[in-house]
Amino acid sequence: MRSGRWTKVPVQPDGSPASSTDAATWAPFGFVETAFTSGGGFYDGVGTVLNGDGLIGFDFDHCVGGGRIVDPKIENYVHQLDSYTEVSPSGTGLRVFLFAKLPPDGRKAGGIECYETGRYLTVTGCHYPHSPRTIYHHQDAVAAVHASVFAERIAMREAAENRPIVKTPVSLADSELLERARKAKNGADFIALYGRGGWKGRYPSQSEADLALCTSLAFWCGPDPNRIDRLFRSSALMREKWERADYRDRTIAKAIEGCGEVYSPEKALVNRGTPASNSRKADEVAQEESPRSDNGNDSEEALRPPQFSDDALALHFAKEHAARLRYVAVLNDWLEYDGACWHPDRTMRTSIEYAQIIGRLQLSPPKSLRQRSQRGSVPPSQAIKRLPLSITLPARTGE
């Protein structure tokens, strides 16, 4: 036991470790029975391995109390399956054994699990009295119960499969697409997940990090499950769990469903609509990963106003000086960063740097700015205040 719970680690009749995926460590029932009955309490119980030969198992957790099933839905499932059912080692769950084939997707949903291969299941022999004592072949019943348990997941997968695929041009190779993702506004987050697998401290679990990365890939790739899968496999988050078809397909389907927009090199953002059922995390990840500004455009090139307008000059200024010169709206003032803290710009540094940009572009300041400056109503770089980048003060306001 570990932390008060049975660990159910399989062993061979001689006490050496067994594996649910290594047939050489399995033994016939007679050997197991002899070892168990003569083991002097060394063994806690017996179990069987599901190896794809047709025997499957359904687990229903925390559904038994006072000798009966307390969840009406589980009671209905057990009645539908109508095959040998026994009480689990904990005394609060049920396991139903049948001969059938499970659908390819869906193995666990809440307290319900079903397996047909590569799984070790304990066998208590504690027959649930309201069920047959025989293991039956009930393919139709298995299909019906599985469809009910995983109805939402199946619907999400089918919606993703039936949605028209928006693909990037053939010329936009995976390497180029990934490079654009790295250079996007939220590129640091993408690099942390894709390049380093850095999810700890950022997400409650690696599964949520998997979903976040898939949602980002859904934005960049469009709803293309195969391409998302291919790119995920080359990421630092790739792990053995991803090989589970049910987990992989469920994660990709949820990511596609939660991605309200997709990236298009030609048309900036293509709005695919945002389903009301989107999860907040998936929607936020898609929005944050996109190189989108507050005015709804896709990239800096799409943002760029007519050349040499006030906004164009503001973009030049922000690219060169955003790390040390910022306009803070709540203070109605420009701040300069001296390497340790931010303080008001009293040296005209903002105006000087702005004038130097204009000089490098071989332009004179726009007439409207000169006139406003002469009246003394605003700094000569008033246009910079309109940039999203220039109105957010970094967190480092002091040491």
Mind listing the pLDDT tens digit for each residue in 265-289? Answer: 665 444 444 333 333 343 343 344 4
Average pLDDT, whole number, for the chain?
75
How many degrees, rounded to 5, is the angle at CA 212 between CA 206 and CA 216? 145
Residue 15 lies in a domain: no
Last-in-domain residue among 257, 289, 321: 289
- For the chain, state the CA radius of gyration: 31
Domain endpoint, select from 266, 289, 312: 289
Check whether residue 125 and residue 44 sit in a common domain. Answer: yes
Q: Average pLDDT, stretch 360-366?
A: 48
Residues 118 and 230 reside in one and the same domain: no
Indicate whether 6 belongs to any domain: no
Whole-Å CA distances, 272 to 166, 265, 277: 10, 16, 14
Residue indicated by tokens 């309200």: 260
CA dist list (Å): 235 to 56, 173, 182, 186, 229: 34, 16, 13, 17, 10
pTM: 0.46
Return the pLDDT at 83.
Answer: 97
CB 264 within 8 A of CB 166: yes
Residues 256 and 317 in one domain: no
Containing H/E element for 343? strand 342-344
User: Rounded mean pLDDT of 182-203?
Assistant: 89
pLDDT of the residue at 310: 61
Task: Calculate the CA 317 to chain-centre distance.
Answer: 37
Domain holding 325, by residue range, is 304-391
296 in a domain, yes or no?
no
- pLDDT recorded at residue 22: 86
List pLDDT tens digits, range 9-53: 888 888 888 888 888 899 998 888 888 888 777 788 899 999 889
Of the candidates 192, 182, 112, which has an alpha carbon nearest to the alpha carbon of residue 148?
A: 112
